[in-house]
């Protein structure tokens, strides 16, 4: 009889996970409250629940007797799964207290300070508490402790703006808490490390850019321009973190900022990054990133001998906008690149503003490293989005005679 897995999450970002599970001959159920989501269209069974409600997820898992539960590409999925896994003994998850530290910004900052891991200085701020920066130096970033995709993040240049920034950030926090964090300058990167027995056995570094909404990545490329010395230092710090927390085998994904020989860890997560990040790495390297991600949740080990060949030069762009519009069409003109597009909206659908919405995800294969490094930060400039009103309210050119 086929093994039964529950994929917790149903969006387009979860689709690569779904099909990797199906390739293994597993009966895959999907949960998520959006019935129109793509994974529900292929699922062996669908459950339209709010999986951020961990008691509801626990009831479903106990009722259906799944062999495995696999989290998709958001924090709510991983945290609810980790809580259920600790109660029912599913493989692949950190202890719930460890997961809470990693996925809650103030808890994670306390850990980095306690163990002298490289990270921006910070302090916790709760609703109703007197608002002050303490010993922190401006400019600061005010962040909801439990949000993702840069939602609710506010940059503050002076103390006079701090109160309004905290109040704004609290609106995006379910727990009514924010963290104040010193703003650090540098280039943004991510590090996807696959962990086995407290060691990094395989990893990937990606360059990242935020060109529409200032705290949400919308452009990225692999391979990275980072020097080997920085990679070694990041890898050493991540290995320390893994050992400090006694993490389970599997993916540890980290965002960090680098400047010269310094770097600062911004955040870490155990779930698969979204917006088809995995596809960027797979297209560039040929390595089965998603297959590696799901292995621990199926009780399988991460192989220590994955062979890496020469990487191809790939960029990824999440097409979004700073102004809401009704989409008609979009076009691209990316120099010296072969392009493939994953559309997320149809003509006539409203496109909300970033970081809350996106139109499509675009992958560009470049002919050279130099072209990749030059073009990727500018991908937004190579995209033209036309709204419905732009198309039909423009003057009609006169007929030629």
pLDDT digits over 183-230, tens only? Answer: 999 999 999 999 999 999 999 999 999 999 999 999 999 999 999 999
Q: How far is CA 223 from CA 208, 280, 372, in A?
A: 11, 10, 9
Instruction: Please list, in sequence order, all residues whose beta carbon lies within 8 angstroms of the beta carbon of residue 186, skipping any fewer than 6 positions away.
Output: 257, 258, 259, 262, 263, 264
Mean pLDDT of 75-97: 98
pLDDT 10s digits, 291-322: 999 999 999 999 989 989 999 999 999 999 99
What gap in Å lies between CA 61 and CA 190, rounded to an integer? 33
At residue 148, the pLDDT reads 63
Who wins on pLDDT, 86 or 105?
86
Q: Specify the pLDDT at position 130.
A: 72
Higher per-residue pLDDT: 133 or 380: 380
CB 251 within 8 A of CB 287: no
Span 31-61, pLDDT tens digits: 999 999 999 999 999 999 999 999 999 999 9
Question: Do 350 and 327 touch, CB atoms closer than 8 A?
Answer: yes
Q: What angle separates helix 105-114 from helix 96-103, to the nearest 10 degrees?
A: 100
CATH architecture, domain defined by 4-90: 3-Layer(aba) Sandwich (3.40)
Which of 162-166, 376-380, 388-392 shows the highest mean pLDDT?
Answer: 376-380
pLDDT-derived band at 396, boundaries 50, 70, 90: low
Q: Which fold has domain 187-388?
A: D-amino Acid Aminotransferase; Chain A, domain 1 (3.30.470)
**Burial letters for 30-60: b for 16+ Cβ neighbours within 10 Å, e otherwise?**
bbbeeeebbbbeebeebbeeebbebeebeeb
Q: How confident is the model over 167-182, as pLDDT tens digits?
A: 888 888 888 888 899 9
Confidence tier at 147 by pLDDT (50, 70, 90): low
Q: In the predicted model, is pLDDT for residue 4 greater than 90?
A: yes
Report the residue count for the chain.
401
Confidence band (pLDDT; 50, 70, 90) for 166?
A: confident
Q: Who contacts 282 (Cβ-Cβ below 8 Å, separation ≥6)?
A: 288, 289, 290
Split at pLDDT 50, 70, 90, the class of 146 is: confident
Return the half-sphere exposure (C-beta side, CA atoms, 13 A cut-off) of residue 328: 10
In CATH, the number for domain 121-182 is: 3.30.1490.20
CA distances for 341 relative to 47, 243, 333, angstroms: 29, 40, 13
Residue 400 clears pLDDT 70, i.e. is over it? no
pLDDT at 77 over 80: yes
Q: Is the peptide bond before 223 cis (omega within 30 degrees of 0)?
A: yes
Every domain of the chain and the residues it spans: 4-90, 121-182, 187-388
- What phi, psi does 142 have (nearest 5°)? -105, 120
Q: Region 74-86: what's the mean pLDDT?
A: 98
């Amino acid at each position: 009889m086929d093994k039964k897995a529950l994929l917790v999450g149903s969006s387009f970002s979860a689709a690569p996970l779904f099909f990797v599970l199906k390739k293994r001959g597993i009966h895959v159920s999907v949960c998520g409250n959006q019935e129109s989501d793509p994974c529900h269209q292929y699922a062996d069974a669908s459950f339209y629940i709010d999986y951020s409600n961990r008691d509801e997820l626990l009831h479903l898992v106990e009722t259906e007797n799944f062999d495995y539960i696999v989290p998709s590409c958001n924090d709510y999925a991983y945290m609810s799964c980790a809580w259920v896994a600790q109660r029912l003994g599913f493989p692949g998850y950190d202890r719930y207290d460890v997961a809470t530290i990693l996925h809650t910004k103030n808890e994670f900052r306390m850990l980095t300070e306690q163990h002298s891991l490289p990270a921006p200085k910070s302090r916790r701020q709760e609703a109703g508490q007197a608002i002050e920066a303490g010993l922190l130096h401006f400019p600061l970033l005010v962040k909801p402790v439990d949000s993702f995709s840069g939602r609710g993040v506010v940059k503050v240049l002076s103390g006079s703006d701090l109160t309004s920034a905290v109040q704004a950030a609290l609106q995006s926090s379910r727990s009514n808490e924010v963290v104040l964090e010193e703003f650090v300058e540098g280039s943004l990167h991510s590090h996807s490390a696959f962990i086995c027995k407290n060691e990094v056995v395989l990893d990937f570094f990606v360059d990242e850019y935020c060109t529409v909404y200032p705290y949400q990545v919308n452009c990225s490329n692999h391979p990275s321009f980072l020097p080997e010395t920085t990679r070694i230092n990041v890898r050493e710090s991540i290995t320390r973190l893994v050992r400090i927390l006694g993490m389970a085998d599997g993916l540890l994904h980290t965002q960090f900022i680098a400047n010269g020989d310094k770097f600062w860890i911004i955040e870490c997560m155990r779930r698969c990054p979204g917006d088809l990040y995995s596809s960027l790495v797979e297209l560039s390297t040929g390595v089965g990133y998603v297959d590696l991600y799901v292995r621990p949740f199926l009780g399988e080990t991460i192989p220590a001998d994955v062979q890496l060949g020469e990487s191809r030069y790939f960029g990824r762009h999440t097409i979004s906008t700073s102004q809401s519009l009704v989409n008609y069409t979009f076009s691209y003109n990316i120099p010296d690149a072969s392009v493939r597009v994953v559309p997320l909206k149809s003509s006539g659908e409203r496109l909300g503003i970033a970081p809350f919405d996106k139109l499509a995800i675009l992958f560009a294969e470049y002919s050279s490293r130099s072209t990749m490094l030059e073009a990727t930060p500018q991908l937004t400039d190579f995209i033209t989005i036309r709204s419905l009103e732009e198309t039909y309210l423009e003057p009609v050119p006169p007929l030629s005679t």
